[in-house]
Structure 1
């Protein structure tokens, strides 16, 4: 019994501290040692050798920076993908609403154009027209603006307008339809600058008379009677 009690009284009276490096973090491990004499044991040579060197810490820091860079790239790619999916979902929903709602026909006369301008006073009609025109599209601003304007009115109608009313033409910049066209192009091309859209609108108005003449010449050539003589008529 005395030996057993003496053994139980020999408790751990010292601790040895080892330094470990795990994934660049310095961790402290305490190991209890049994010492009957009360002496504190010295750290082992293995524990000393496991202390991180400056080279190891530098390599670990470089690895962490590289890993963080990769993670940031992945997160940025995910963000762009989510934005694209949201845009596609929104565009699909918009196309479905247009199919179920307003369908515009180009104004073929000044009377139709004035009537369309009056309808734009209705906010709901304006928003429906904006949605319809914004889905017409065009990859480049010039193409997008031209297609949007021709969905609103024909070149024959645009011949009577200039942006600021020059050459005794009607002033387009004061009309609601002008704001409608700009907003439709902007919605279709979010990166478009308003000033650039104005320039493209002026280009469409500038070339409208020439377009009308070409259309008239083409129609005349198509409907002109054939004036040539056949072989039978020469006989």
Structure 2
């Protein structure tokens, strides 16, 4: 399956062929721009259209290496040609949150040396978890201000897919605790020049200027060496 969103997060529509349908609900295509739930980023929604009939896409997940589109209408079958359309308001919001999370993570790492241990994006707020023995709550306001300053600089966000060995030479690429398994031969790197280089399979804005200002509204301890920051847009 060709994963179109990995090379072009801005793609709103695409054409594809149906490879398989299970239980009249779970549709596998030969190519897709729909993002499946993964890495803390929720799945896309939207629709597939075939012969003028619409099949709303309500969930997208990856199972056994294949991306499955759950539709709420029956009727699609293997061999059908479809046009896919992404719910752009939902995707755009998650892209903005995801790129903002990268910038905030870069600030935390730069200031404290902490590695990011997880994140969860949602419609109303997003959280970032990082491994740190303790944090100075007085510094949180400075993180917020620095993230907003980078947003205002309107920096282009670049996508590169690099050979594993080359990607892992970039010191800041792997901020997540768990390293990539040996079978991963290529690594997709999201680059915000002079701010962050991070391995990531999610979708992102094309320019930081697309992101609203953030507000860090909550910070908490989540156990030994685990800290959590929540932010939202305003």
TM-score (norm 2): 0.22
Higher relative contact order (CA 8 A, sep 6+): 2
Judging by fraction of residues, say which structure has more strand: 2
Judging by fraction of residues, say which structure has more helix: 1
TM-score (norm 1): 0.22
